[in-house]
């Protein structure tokens, strides 16, 4: 009974559970630390299980439609509506389910990592409530089939994220970073809303499937496309709109940084959804595809070259995050550029997209892992400055092991997961344009060089006196890092199975605009 | 021509807001600029649903069936509520920055760089 209710209403519960959990957290926090931590663990685990239930359903039986407030939630159209969906609809296809699955997983890991709080930290109840709200924002963005709804979840994502970045309020610099992030996110949100207004004015609907079906690609649609892509690329942290990422990622608490990476990827999902599903073949896909490819290449190169001279370990990792976002844009951009050519799409376009999408989840795993190790080091030493750190390999052996796994994965060394997705990108992009592939490889080598330096600066060298008291971090932190490290290794050893199981349906769902439209407009 | 005036006004408001954000150095004024952009977007939304001589979209005892579109009004209300939350958050950030740095000038916010 409960099971049937649960699986039938999975898309709604996916948002309802963390939202309820967020608002109940301050109340449960009054009972003490342990009940609150158990509550957060329960809520994030339930959210993860719900997204897994949803994902299983989507991958076995096809896209799931959930109409809010309708008598039968699976029917998008009612008989007297004249063939137009009138309610807010969640349209969960393979791409959405895949994003929701790993977002809720990283959310759970970030929550577990946050359980041991530092000595000077207060206001943890609010912290966890905001963490859950951030999760709601991300899950809503990836599941919704309604443009205005997308904007609302984008704003929830931005507000919760900005408030969390400002969590370490004591010196004011975190607030400076949060102010930049909030300002930029709000501006990006308003650009998106303006584009939504333009599209609504023309097509009388907010539903993505309806707009996609009626899309004419006139002048106003081009303006709307430019606004949507600019706004979402700003939020995703692609060059040249990347200036907020190093500040924000370095000043936020580490667990939050790991989760903010996923929040940015939700915006990246928005870029892909707009380009492939909302506009699809009507847009000038070669031009837009090349535009995304150039954004990607610039992000890769600028990100890595800015990362090399950094002295703050988290700032350095943040620039690498910009650089890795470039790989995803490159892979999917190549897919978009050959969207109209079935032969090229079949021979390398789809592989490039699969590589890009696979890189999204891999990045969430190894980048999350790296930010968490940086957080563990900060937790024990109180500094992120590479010039002051050193010799920690003697006392923090597990953290060192996890750092090595993350660093090798980001540099694309086999057998870790970064290698698997980068190889797919190299091979397929080489068939499209060899130069792009060579740039991608050079960036990988620079990444490796940069992380060798970081590894040496933090862990190598003799035991330092000022860190004589440093011990290994508490068990929940080790557990959070361990599970990400395990996944990094497992996804590197069995890449083909994962690609076949989840990644290629996701890429297929992005390319197949027709079935997205049909899933809403088809059944009356 | 006169029917286009709300859209032109919305465009002008957005441009004024963005110019304010870019040219002013005081953080409070930058937040005000953002609020002006938001007002422009709201005006744009409401103007999309307006029709000349339309009445409020309540069907009971309606004097005519020429009604303005309620969807965009609902969207505008939602955006106003979101805007209040954002502005409050931004202003509280500005307040904390003023307390810690002793200045609300964006040129003094140079502690994060590289």
Strand A89-92, strand A64-67: pairing: antiparallel
For A118, list phi and psi in degrees, rounded to 5.
-70, 175
Across the interface, do A193 and B14 touch by the CB < 8 Å criterion? no
Count how many residues are written for chain B. 114
Axis-axis angle for helices A350-381, A504-511 (nearest 10): 120
Q: Which of residues 242-261 of A touch B (CB under 8 A)?
A: 246-247, 250-251
Bridge partner residues of A66 (DSSP): A90
Closest CA to A477 of A392, A407, A380: A380
Confirm if A51 and A101 have CB atoms less than 8 A apart: yes
pLDDT (tens, 9 = 90+) of chain A, 524 residues, equals 788 888 888 999 999 999 999 999 999 999 988 999 999 999 999 999 999 999 999 999 888 999 988 877 777 777 777 778 888 899 999 999 999 999 999 999 999 999 887 666 678 889 999 999 999 999 999 999 999 999 999 999 999 999 999 988 877 788 989 999 999 999 999 999 999 999 998 998 899 999 998 888 889 999 999 999 999 999 998 888 888 999 999 989 999 999 999 999 999 999 999 999 999 888 888 889 999 999 999 999 999 999 988 889 999 999 999 999 999 999 999 999 998 888 888 888 899 999 999 999 999 999 999 999 999 998 888 888 888 888 888 888 999 999 999 999 999 888 899 999 999 999 999 999 999 999 999 999 999 999 999 999 998 888 888 888 888 888 999 999 999 999 999 999 999 999 999 999 999 999 888 888 888 887 54
- Residue A290 corresponds to which tokens in the numbers above? 């090349």
**Which of B48, B89, B93 is facing A200, going by the closest CB pair?**
B48
Distance CA A353, CA A95 (A): 12
**Model ipTM value:** 0.94
Distance CA A198, CA A428 (A): 36
Distance CA B45, CA A349 (A): 38
**Which of B27, B34, B78 is facing A152, going by the closest CB pair?**
B78
Taking the Cβ of residue A147 and every Cβ of chain B, the question of whether any pair is shorter than 8 Å is answered with no
Residues of chain A neighbouring B45 (CB-CB closer than 8 A): 193, 197
Name which CATH class applies to B2-52+66-104. mainly alpha
pTM check: above 0.90: yes
Q: B63 CA to chain A: closest CA distance, Å? A: 24
Residues of chain A neighbouring B89 (CB-CB closer than 8 A): 159, 162-163, 182
Confirm if A488 and A417 have CB atoms less than 8 A apart: yes
Element spanning A92, H or E: strand A89-92
Within A338-460, residue ranges assigned H as helices are 342-344, 350-381, 397-410, 417-432, 434-459
- Residue B86 corresponds to which tokens in the numbers above? 């954002």
Residues of chain B neighbouring A166 (CB-CB closer than 8 A): 93, 96
Interface of chain B toward chain A, CB-CB under 8 angstroms: 14, 21, 27, 30-31, 34, 37-38, 41, 44-45, 48, 71-72, 75, 78-79, 82, 85-86, 89-90, 93-94, 96-97, 99-101, 109, 111-112, 114
């Amino acid at each position: 009974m409960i099971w049937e209710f649960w699986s039938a209403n999975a898309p709604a519960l996916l948002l309802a559970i963390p939202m309820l959990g967020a608002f109940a957290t301050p109340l449960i926090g009054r009972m003490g630390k342990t009940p609150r931590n158990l509550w957060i663990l329960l809520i994030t685990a339930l959210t993860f299980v719900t997204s897994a239930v949803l994902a299983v359903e989507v991958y076995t039986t096809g896209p799931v439609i959930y109409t809010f407030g309708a008598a039968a939630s699976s029917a998008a159209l009612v008989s007297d509506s004249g063939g137009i969906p009138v309610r807010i609809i969640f349209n969960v296809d393979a791409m959405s389910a895949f994003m929701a699955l790993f977002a809720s997983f990283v959310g759970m890991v970030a929550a577990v990592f946050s359980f041991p709080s530092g000595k000077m930290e207060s206001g943890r109840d609010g912290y966890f409530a905001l963490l859950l709200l951030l999760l709601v924002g991300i899950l809503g963005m990836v599941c919704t089939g309604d443009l205005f709804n997308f904007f609302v979840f984008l704003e929830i994502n931005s507000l919760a994220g900005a408030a969390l970045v400002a969590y370490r309020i004591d010196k004011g610099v975190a607030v400076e970073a949060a102010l930049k992030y909030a300002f930029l996110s709000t501006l990006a949100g308003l650009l998106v809303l303006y584009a939504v207004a333009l599209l609504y004015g023309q097509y009388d609907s907010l539903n993505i499937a309806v707009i996609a079906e009626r899309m004419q690609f006139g002048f106003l649609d081009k303006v709307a496309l430019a606004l949507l892509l600019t706004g979402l690329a700003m939020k995703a942290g692609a060059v040249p709109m990347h200036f907020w990422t190093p500040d924000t990622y370095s000043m936020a608490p580490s667990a939050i940084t790991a989760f903010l990476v996923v929040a940015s990827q939700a915006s990246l999902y928005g870029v892909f959804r707009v380009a492939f599903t909302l506009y699809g073949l009507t847009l000038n896909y070669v031009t837009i595809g090349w535009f995304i490819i150039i954004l990607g290449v610039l992000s890769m190169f600028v990100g890595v070259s800015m990362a090399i001279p950094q002295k703050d370990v988290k700032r350095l990792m943040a620039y690498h995050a910009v650089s890795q976002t470039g790989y995803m844009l490159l892979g999917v951009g190549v897919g978009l550029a050959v969207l109209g050519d079935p032969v090229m799409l079949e021979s390398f376009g789809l592989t490039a997209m699969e590589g890009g999408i696979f890189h999204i989840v891999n990045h969430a795993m190894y980048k999350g892992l790296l930010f968490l190790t940086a957080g563990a080091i900060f937790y024990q030493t109180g500094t992120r400055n590479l010039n002051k750190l050193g010799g920690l390999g003697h006392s923090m052996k597990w953290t060192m092991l996890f750092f090595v796994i993350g660093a090798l994965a980001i540099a694309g060394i086999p057998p870790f997961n970064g290698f698997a997705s980068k190889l797919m990108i190299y091979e397929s992009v080489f068939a499209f344009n060899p130069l792009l592939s060579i740039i991608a490889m050079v960036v990988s080598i620079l990444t490796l060089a940069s992380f060798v330096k970081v590894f040496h600066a933090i862990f190598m060298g003799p035991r330092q006196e000022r860190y004589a008291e440093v011990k290994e971090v508490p068990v929940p932190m080790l557990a959070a890092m361990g599970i990400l490290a395990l996944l990094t290794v497992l996804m590197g050893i069995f890449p083909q199975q994962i690609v076949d199981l989840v990644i290629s349906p996701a890429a297929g769902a992005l390319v197949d605009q027709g079935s997205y439209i049909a899933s809403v407009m088809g059944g009356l | 021509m006169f029917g286009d005036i709300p859209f032109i006004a919305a465009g002008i408001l957005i441009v004024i807001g963005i110019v304010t954000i870019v040219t002013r150095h005081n953080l409070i004024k930058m937040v005000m600029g953002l609020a002006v952009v938001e007002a422009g977007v709201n005006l744009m939304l409401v103007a999309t649903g307006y029709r000349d001589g339309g009445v409020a979209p309540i069907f009971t005892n309606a004097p005519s069936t020429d009604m303005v579109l309620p969807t965009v009004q609902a969207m505008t209300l939602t955006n106003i509520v979101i805007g209040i939350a954002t502005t409050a958050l931004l202003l509280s950030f500005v307040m904390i920055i003023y307390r810690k740095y002793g200045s609300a000038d964006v040129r003094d916010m140079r502690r994060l760089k590289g």
